[in-house]
Amino acid sequence: MSKKGRAVVYLLTFFGVLTSAVMLCVFLLFRVAQIEVTGDQVYSASDILKICGYETGDNLVFLPTKEQEEQLERELPYIEKAEVRKRLPGTLEISVTAAKVGACIESGGSWLYLSENGKLLE
């Protein structure tokens, strides 16, 4: 085999091994081993995880985060901001900021509670 042919074989072998290593890391090594809920404890960690749908053993690399952040803020009124962070090799952190009551409005004999940013709490 010519010198150029051997170089091509070596290069293809190198990229094959590199691709295999990356696939191994992505699919086998980066699994969720621990889920942490931090920040204001308005809701229990189990309530937050139930809405997110995260479980240990999920692939950390391919977990969606933006949709779960928006869903937490939408479905749990006393969460003003939710942020999901992936910490390699196997930790998923859900950071929660509680909404603070900014105004109370009487409406039809009952009270409406609004956050400082105008989100309806109760």
Strands (E) in the chain, as ranges, are 34-39, 79-87, 91-98, 101-107, 110-115
Q: Which domain holds residue 44?
A: 31-115
CATH code where residue 79 lies: 3.10.20.310
Residue 122 lies in a domain: no
Q: Are 80 and 61 in contact (CB under 8 A)?
A: no
State how beta strands 101-107 and 34-39 pair. unpaired
Same domain, 69 and 93: yes
Q: Residue ranges of the chain with pLDDT lower than 70?
A: 26
- 39: how many CB neighbours lie within 10 A of its CB? 15
Reported as a single tens digit per residue, the pLDDT across 68-80 is: 999 998 898 889 8
Same domain, 41 and 83: yes
Query: What is the C-alpha separation between 42 and 96, in angstroms, rounded?
Result: 9
DSSP 8-state secondary structure symbol assigned to residue 100: -
Question: Which pLDDT score, from 0 to 100, does residue 70 have?
Answer: 92
Same domain, 2 and 38: no
State how beta strands 34-39 and 91-98 pair. parallel
Residue 9 lies in a domain: yes
Reported as a single tens digit per residue, the pLDDT across 7-16 is: 888 899 999 9
State how beta strands 110-115 and 101-107 pair. antiparallel
Question: In the predicted model, what is the mean pLDDT of the chain?
Answer: 86
